[in-house]
Amino acid sequence: MAGPSDKARYYLEHGVSELNELERKKIFSREEISSIAKKRSDFEHIINARGASTSDFQRYIEFEKNVEALRRKHVKRLGVKSSGSGQKNIFFLYNRGVKKFSGDLELWMQYIEYARKEKAFKKLNEIFTSIVRLHPAKPDVWIYAAEYYMDSQADITNARSYMQRGLRFCQKSEKIWLEYAKLETIYIAKIGGRRKVLGLDIDRTQSNAANGEEEDENMIALPVVSAEDVNPSLGKEDGVDEVALQNMASAPILTGAIPMAIFDAATKQFQGKPAFAERFFDMIAEFDQLSCIERILQHVLDYLLQNYPKSVSTTICTFRMRLFGIHPSSANFISTLRDSLELLASAIGQYPDKQSHIAEVAVRQLLPLLREAEDLDEPTLKKALSASLRKYTRLVEEHGTGASGDSIVDLVEGLVQEKKRADAARLVQASTKQWGTNERLIQLDRALNT
């Protein structure tokens, strides 16, 4: 068996012709070539020796990335032709690294990100095929692959395929079920947005979703009319089938049948866990501009009411459903808000161990309502909303842990991470009077007002 030195020499010899070309075309000087060769030799001996680590590969790869960036800069300045093999070298190093440390997901993700940056689509297909084969029980791997095909390639077919296959191996993962439903909901939004651009967003009648035959007992039976009936390249100007888009108005995909089918399949895996349905409700509620969202939310709530009528999750979803889509300017807003808050007040007494969670839900719901009410000439309404917000922020803090104001700060940071900056800023503003000495809150206040 070849020793570390023999392996290092073998790999170094393959780079000699490239270095000779770089010197011949005067892209690098003789001194620079010597320095590159020396560094490569050092790295090769390190990664081929016993006890090598992923950080050794990462340093070597970073060095090659710097060499390639410098080569491109020199080529542009000199105006010479040189395709170089820097990208090939980097891919080769990544490939060697993940073969040696196949269990290191961080290195795999760096490999994928580099391929995405270089727009090496064929290489990405190979990487995703390899990583899901090696790590089929890792939900994040399947989710990442699906998101890539959806976000970068607008390819719902491949994205859905990864999610469906991922569920075969990760059926007990709540995250993959939620992310799959999210992906399908995003696709509905893309189709809806495209229809709007084309002027096809007319009144649509909702139809009942017909379920297709199951091709595999582990696969979810999706509605017969699915997203593949539309050109998946929604982001492109050319090749969009406007007739297909128009015909989709009353098809199951636009009435939310696919996310509901996913929810129904997921609940079979999480029986006895109403909190999963609440998390599903939370995720879907973020798409409040889609016409089918209320239908999906009601479907989730109906499931909770039927199966877990006395659960705190059912109470919370009922509260949120009552206020969903209602604007403070609506004639029945005051009465709806009063009834909804009374429902929460009753829940706080009924579920003392869930008071912090219930209060956080209330705060999250009240913040956007207060923001919408700012444009109205209704001082009584704004006063009532502000008072309710103060009440529930105090409850969040009373049942939290840590120093005074820390629970509120955690909630603010959560809103910032969710890109709800306006709500985060309003919560800081509402909290400074009571917890204004909290250093973290002071820092957040500065950051949100810069």
C-alpha distances in angstroms, 359 versus 352, 395, 417, 424?
Answer: 11, 6, 20, 16
Residue of 319, 318, 343, 323 whose CA lies nearest to 334 = 323
- The pLDDT of residue 219 is 62
Tokens (6 digits) for 448: 């949100």
* Average pLDDT value for residue range 207-230: 45
| Percent of the chain topping pLDDT 90 | 61
> 129 to each of 93, 162, 183, 188, 215, how far by Cα in Å?
18, 10, 20, 27, 22
pLDDT of residue 230: 34
- Read off the pLDDT band of 320 (50, 70, 90): very high
Residues 6+ apart with CB under 8 A from 25: 78, 80, 82
Whether residue 93 has pLDDT greater than 70: yes
> For 115-172, what is each residue's pLDDT tens digit?
999 999 999 999 999 999 999 999 999 999 999 999 988 899 999 999 999 999 999 9
Bridge-partner residues for 211, per DSSP? 223
**How high is the mean pLDDT of the chain?**
85
Q: Output the pLDDT for position 223.
A: 55
Q: What percent of the chain has pLDDT over 70?
A: 85
**Section 278-294 average pLDDT:** 94
- Per residue in 171-200, pLDDT tens? 999 999 999 999 999 999 888 777 676 665
Residue 376 has pLDDT above 70, yes or no: yes
What is the value of pTM for the model shown? Answer: 0.82
Q: How many CB atoms lie within 10 A of CB 133?
A: 9
If you average pLDDT over residues 24-33, what whole number do you get? 89
- Of 75 and 66, the one with more pLDDT: 66
Q: Is the pLDDT of residue 225 over 60?
A: no
Q: Which of 104-118, 184-198, 355-369 has the lowest mean pLDDT?
A: 184-198
- Residue 253 is predicted with a pLDDT of 74
317 vs 247, more confident: 317
> What is the maximum span of the chain, computed from C-alpha positions, in angstroms?
83
Q: Residue 224's pLDDT is what? A: 45
- CB-CB contact of 445 with 432 (8 Å): yes
Flag whether pLDDT at 434 surpasses 90: no
Predicted pLDDT of residue 23:
85
pLDDT at 301 over 90: yes
Q: How confident is the model at residue 22 (pLDDT cuts 50, 70, 90)?
A: confident
Structure tokens of 338?
């009063």
Report, as an integer, the average pLDDT of 393-414.
84
Q: pLDDT band for position 211 (50/70/90)?
A: very low
Residue boundaries of the structural domains of the chain: 1-135, 351-450
Please give the pLDDT value at position 401: 61
* Mean pLDDT within 72-93: 84
pLDDT at 399: 75
Which pLDDT score, from 0 to 100, does residue 94 have? 96
Asked if residue 351 has pLDDT above 60, the reply is yes
